[in-house]
Amino acid sequence: MQKNVGDFDAFIRIWGGLLMLGLGITRDSAPLMVFGAGKVAEGITRFCPMLYVLGISTTEIPVKKTTNRVPLVREVRRSKNPQAQYENY
């Protein structure tokens, strides 16, 4: 079983599941208790069967890396004139 639930997603599942579990207990609702317990279990094990079936993973968010970074105006000004770093912008 490979993890397919990320940190923030697991946090939300655990707290939301605990909330649903508590509401199910106070309202005596078996479906709400079962669904809440399932969400808590998904958050703890960090595995969601529905995400697995859909082929989705929230463990890593892809970050677009750029190699050609354009320097800011302040950086250009500082590189040309070292005293420019003391100017007010």
> pLDDT digits over 15-25, tens only?
999 999 999 99
Q: Higher confidence at residue 29 or residue 87?
A: 29
Tokens of 60: 């890593």
- Roughly how many angstroms between the first and final C-alpha of the chain, as a whole number? 54
Residue 85 to residue 89: CA distance in whole angstroms: 9
Average pLDDT over residues 4-31: 94
* The overall pTM is greater than 0.75: no
Count of C-beta atoms within a 10 Å radius of residue 71:
10
12-48: b or e for each residue (b if 16 or more CB lie within 10 Å)?
Answer: ebbeebeebbeebeeeeeeebbebbebbbebbeebbb
Question: What's the pLDDT band for 65 if we cut at 50, 70, 90?
Answer: low
